[in-house]
Amino acid sequence: MLSTTITVLLLTLCNTIIAVHCTNVNVDSFTNCKNNDNDTLPTNSTNNNVRWTHVPIPPLVDALLDEEWDTLDPSASEMISTFRTNKSFARFPHARNVFKNHLIGTFGLLGMWGQPYDVRRTGLFHTAYGGDLFGFAKWDASSMSHREELRNITGEDSEALTYLFGTVNRGALLNLAGLMANDTIDERLSSDSPDVIVEHRISGLISVSAADIAKIMVVTMADYLEQMVEVNGWRDHHQVEEPLKLYPGGGRPATAFYWISKICRAVRNALEVIPP
């Protein structure tokens, strides 16, 4: 039994997010709450402290949940078809699934955040050239023909950003590596911040604009967030003992949230679109 103030967000099959705010409610009263054909949620008739608020799911969130990728980018299906012709994307294990699913998920998050198309597409192919933290690559960043091949798939702006993402020392941008290690950050960017000289694994040292740094960091945030799902319904229900009152999980924030929020604050003023 729990008597407290609780806010619960339930994602339902009726295309609404239902925000449930309960004050001094016995958690057992939730067991009889369900959705009916009129899209209302009846509560326990003896409990007058439960209020249901229906909030429509934003269209971009709907597109992500329904995997309507072309809603997020008109060329999405064509670009994703690359993963069928290059089967290594579906054979290479990565995070909690195979590599192509992670790439599509990263693209989906960036699309849901309303990022520009070059940023979304970079998310879809973010480690196409490998990276400072990822030792595998589909295309050779030092090969002009390989770069042209990817450019023909994603477009010029996206390929250029993907190239930067995979070839610069991201850990040095805004002291990302230090932030991950000990919670420090160099500075905050704005649209008129000066270019930054950073190590590049092919060209030695290069100059990177504040706008490109901000875009690289947003793709990095989506990359990490896509892999941070902790709760697995089947595994956690059958193999891990958790109090049932905590369903669907303990709600523990993943450890990367502390630095992701700081990076987001650091680059927000240099972004075309700030993630919600």
Q: How far apart are CA 115 and CA 39, in angstroms?
A: 32
137 class by beta-carbon count within 10 Å (0-12 exposed, 13-18 middle, 19+ buried): middle
Q: What is the pLDDT of residue 14?
A: 33
Phi, psi of 263 (to 5 degrees): -65, -40
Residue of 135, 219, 226, 133 lying closest to 180 (CA atoms):
133
Residue carrying the six token digits 């502390």 = 258
Q: What is the pLDDT of residue 252?
A: 58
Give the tens place of pLDDT for each residue, 119-136.
999 999 998 998 876 777
* Residues 60 and 68: beta-carbon distance below 8 Å: no
Q: What is the pLDDT of residue 193?
A: 87
Of 85-94, 168-177, 206-215, which gets the smallest average pLDDT?
85-94
- pTM here is 0.71
Give the tens place of pLDDT for each residue, 88-109.
887 777 766 788 889 999 999 9
For the chain, the maximum distance between any two Cα atoms, rounded to a whole number of angstroms, is 71
Encoded tokens for 134: 């990822």
